[in-house]
Amino acid sequence: MHMGLKDKRQIDKNKTFFQSLGHALEGIKRLVLEERNFRFDLIIAAIVLCLGIVLQIKINEWLWLFAAFFSVIGSEVLNSIIENVVDLIVGHHFDLMAKRAKDIAAGGVLLSATFAAIIGALIFIPRLIMLFK
């Protein structure tokens, strides 16, 4: 493996699965530590999981919930990537195209969150109505 002259940072492609896994876990750690909205999404997902267990939802409803959950998480990850790359390119300067890219990425998160809210409403509202009748 080639190493940079000044430091020991990896510059070549990962050689093993475990090396790749380590980088992926480091990325998830960065998301949890640095991205407020990612943490919020995880909290909402935990609440929804608990509600699903309490209300004993069916397997196909679990599938929809997990599809919705990973849609939001995935779009949040892509949004974070876009924000970081844009910031790397433009630095601390305002750029209209950078703003546009960030706004579109945030819009993608909003769309997937709307999808998740609709799925959650379709699954939980009828159950909660029956529970409180």
Query: What is the phi/psi pair of residue 23, to 5°?
Result: -65, -40
Q: pLDDT at position 6, please?
A: 60
Buried b (16+ CB within 10 A) or exposed e, 35-71: beebeebbebbeebeebbeeeebeeebeebbeebbeb
Instruction: State both tokens at 25.
Output: 């876990």
**Residue 105 CB contacts under 8 Å (≥ 6 apart), including other chains:** 78, 79, 82, 83
Domain range annotation of the chain: 17-131
**Helices (H), ranges, the chain:** 17-34, 36-54, 59-90, 96-131
Q: Are 31 and 79 within 8 A, CB to CB?
A: no
Look at residues 85, 90, 83, 89 and name the one whose alpha carbon lies nearest to residue 105.
Answer: 83
For residue 3, what is the DSSP state?
B
**Residue 35 CB contacts under 8 Å (≥ 6 apart), including other chains:** 76, 80
Instruction: State both tokens at 60.
Output: 């196909």
| Unique residue bearing structure tokens 């430091």 | 7
pTM for the model stands at 0.85
Q: What is the mean pLDDT of each run of 10 residues along the chain (133 residues)?
A: 59 89 96 97 97 97 98 98 96 95 98 98 96 88
Q: pLDDT at position 1, please?
A: 44
- Select 17-131's CATH number: 3.40.50.12780, 3.40.190.80, 1.10.540.10, 1.10.287.3610: 1.10.287.3610
